[in-house]
Structure 1
Amino acid sequence: MSSLTNYGQAIASTTVALLQMLSSPPIGLEVTAYPLNAPRTGVSGPSVNLFLYYDSLITYREETQRGPSRVIAELHYLVSAYPGDDGDTDAGSHRAFGTARAAIERHPVLSVPLGSADVLQVWLSPSPLTTEVLTALWAAAAEPLRLSFAVMASFTLDASERVAVVGTVRDVVKLAGAGAIAVLTGADAAGKAEAAASVARELGKPLVTVPVTDIVGATLAETEEKLTRLFEQAEHRGAVLLIEEADAVFGVRPEVLDVDDPYAGLDIGSVLDQLGHAPSVVIIGLGHLASDELADRAKVEVRFPAEEGSAAARTSG
């Protein structure tokens, strides 16, 4: 599936696919994609114009989904009919309008190529458009009102590509920015603690080490309160934060959560959003694998297997 990083290409390719669908036989309309106030150059006879006037992005994650979250993109086009001449005595603009409207109804799904190996499935549906909205669109372009209808083109993309890379402690130091998240995974607890201390030293900042139970509550409001209090403490301002014993919240969790799990109803993505307000780098220590939510947000993962010398090895390079 294409990712949100290809959104610009997805928009352009969807517009081109709509143009081609309406202009190719047997429909055979003259079709443009001009701004509403652009001169109608290169057009002869009745035609229709596609104008993208609005888009929206809705992010979601299915309960059973693994990997990056997804986003539903909705593109709203104004499809307007133009006469072939000022008189339009044969109602050619009406015929073009009806032909385009019927074509959208008959072709509810477009297969839109993205590059050489990716195809985007785009669903088309007429979109309600009030007289007030229609009038406002044309008034904003300082153009007379045209016979028009709206169509929504929707498709799904991966919301993000995993950016975390398996690296070294030096890579964590390079993050440096406030709220940047790094993950230390593995059974070598001493090595992870030493690595976090090394990051703080390199950055010239204090290190604050807390267990996950001290900063995450059963609700998002409780978590926000705990984190705000932590960030505002004078001795912690600007400090590197190491969250230990974090598997219960940020590790891979079972598909069906235990009713006694204190974090069963917690939105992990929202907790990570709150950590984004941290004054410096946030380091999350895990004994095992990171959850999908954390893997989506983390910039660097450093692994610490339980073997002698692992800490020294991870600080090199």
Structure 2
Amino acid sequence: MSSLTNYGQAIASTTIALQELLASPLVGLQATIRAPGEARTGLTGASVNLFLYSDGLISYREASTQHGPSRVIAELHYLVSAFPADDGDTDAASHRAFGAARAAIERHPVLTVPVGSADSLQVWLTSSPLTAESLTALWLASGAPLRLSFGVMASFTLDAAERVAVVGTVHDVVQLAGAGAIAVFSGTDAAAKAAAAASVAQELGKALVTVPLASIVSRDMDETEHNLTALFEQAEHRGAVLLIDEAEDLFGVRPEVLDIDDPYSAIEIGQVLDRLGRSPSVVIIAIRDSAGDELADRARVEVRFPDEGQADPAPAG
């Protein structure tokens, strides 16, 4: 199954497959994939145009996956418009093109779409009703005259369970720069991790705020939310790089069966990470060993620090 990292290619391949379906000898239409206002450039004769105007992603978790979403359903919404051979449409050519396109979608509800050289998608096609208001809004936005049109939804499933974090260096963390980007510092050398976090803040020209996990995350999610909001809104902390220290109890690899006395047993890790993702700057989570599944799924970069006295395999530069 193709992965979420190939989403852009999956969209492009699906659009081209739809165009090829409508232009196939069995359908026999001129088919373009242009903005509505440019659909007729260089063409003569009746034609249809495919315009991707929106998409949606729906994440879900399979029963076999313990943490985080494992699959994503993608929904692509196309405006399919029929154009006449002449301005007057005297021979109703746009009507024939419209009907042929609608029939082709109905007759071919599933397409096998190649994605790259070694992968493919099963794409389901469904006619999608468009209200007069929706059609008018789309055509007004395009600045072109309203044409006979219908909607098509193309849906397919992608694998979302892969890890996006890469093992990198402190320099890679600096390059993240953006608000809410999450990095992991792993290893037992607390002093080295603290020094590296200070280096990141200095390179970004920001303050560094270091807080132990226990001071912001509690058993109660509302209290955790309050703690994080207060932290982000403090004037001296606005825009600062945040280092969450001693975070392995929540964000490290956890046992399948949690101890009832575990202070974080009722905490939804994903909710905490979602809130951290709204931080005004980079968030660094420091742990001693390996990152747990949900942190590994959300982190952009992991920097691994060796034990004290060992050579550093991931230099800062």
The residue that corresponds to 2:243 in the other structure is: 241
Judged with a 3 Å threshold, the aligned counterparts in structure 2 of structure 1 residues 21 and 172 are, in CA distance, closer, same or farther, namely: closer
Partner SS for 2:36 = coil
CA deviation map 1:215-264 (0-9, x unaligned): 213344321212233445678674652421x3442123456767776645
Judged with a 3 Å threshold, the aligned counterparts in structure 2 of structure 1 residues 200 and 67 are, in CA distance, closer, same or farther, namely: closer
The residue that corresponds to 1:150 in the other structure is: 151
Partner SS for 1:49 = strand
In 1, the alpha carbon distance for the partners of 2:215 and 2:44 equals 71
Report the residue type matching 1:25 in the other structure: P
In 1, the alpha carbon distance for the partners of 2:75 and 2:162 equals 20
Worse-superposed segment, 7-16 or 101-110: 7-16
Judged with a 3 Å threshold, the aligned counterparts in structure 2 of structure 1 residues 94 and 242 are, in CA distance, closer, same or farther, namely: closer
Report the residue type matching 2:291 in the other structure: A
The answer to whether the Cα contact below 8 Å between 1:241 and 1:280 also exists between their aligned partners in 2 is no
The residue that corresponds to 1:292 in the other structure is: 293
The answer to whether the Cα contact below 8 Å between 2:39 and 2:49 also exists between their aligned partners in 1 is no
In 2, the alpha carbon distance for the partners of 1:45 and 1:174 equals 52
Judged with a 3 Å threshold, the aligned counterparts in structure 2 of structure 1 residues 185 and 17 are, in CA distance, closer, same or farther, namely: same
Partner SS for 2:102 = helix
Report the residue type matching 2:224 in the other structure: T
In 2, the alpha carbon distance for the partners of 1:236 and 1:157 equals 39
In 2, the alpha carbon distance for the partners of 1:249 and 1:149 equals 50
Judged with a 3 Å threshold, the aligned counterparts in structure 2 of structure 1 residues 10 and 43 are, in CA distance, closer, same or farther, namely: same
Gaps of 5+ in 2: none
User: Percent identity among equivalent residues?
Assistant: 66
Q: Which residues of 2 match residues 37-186 of structure 1 at below 5 A?
A: 37-38=37-38, 40-62=40-62, 64-65=64-65, 70-86=71-87, 88=89, 90-158=91-159, 162-167=163-168, 179-186=180-187
The answer to whether the Cα contact below 8 Å between 1:200 and 1:207 also exists between their aligned partners in 2 is no
In 2, the alpha carbon distance for the partners of 1:284 and 1:263 equals 16
Judged with a 3 Å threshold, the aligned counterparts in structure 2 of structure 1 residues 93 and 255 are, in CA distance, closer, same or farther, namely: farther
Partner SS for 1:40 = coil
Q: Does residue 251 in structure 1 map to residue 260 in structure 2?
A: no
Shift of 1:170: 6.8
Shift of 1:18: 0.6
Q: Does residue 197 in structure 1 map to residue 160 in structure 2?
A: no
Shift of 1:23: 1.2
Partner SS for 1:123 = strand
Q: Which residues of 2 match residues 187-226 of structure 1 at below 5 A?
A: 188=188, 191=189, 193-202=190-199, 203=201, 208-210=210-212, 212-226=213-227
Shift of 1:30: 2.2
Scaled by the length of structure 2, what TM-score is found?
0.77
CA deviation map 1:155-202 (0-9, x unaligned): 23456964433345676677677654332435x3xx2x2223322554
Scaled by the length of structure 1, what TM-score is found?
0.77
In 1, the alpha carbon distance for the partners of 2:241 and 2:50 equals 53
Partner SS for 1:111 = strand
Partner SS for 2:75 = strand
Partner SS for 2:218 = coil
Shift of 1:283: 3.6
The answer to whether the Cα contact below 8 Å between 1:195 and 1:315 also exists between their aligned partners in 2 is no
In 1, the alpha carbon distance for the partners of 2:42 and 2:241 equals 62
Worse-superposed segment, 76-85 or 232-241: 232-241
Partner SS for 1:57 = strand
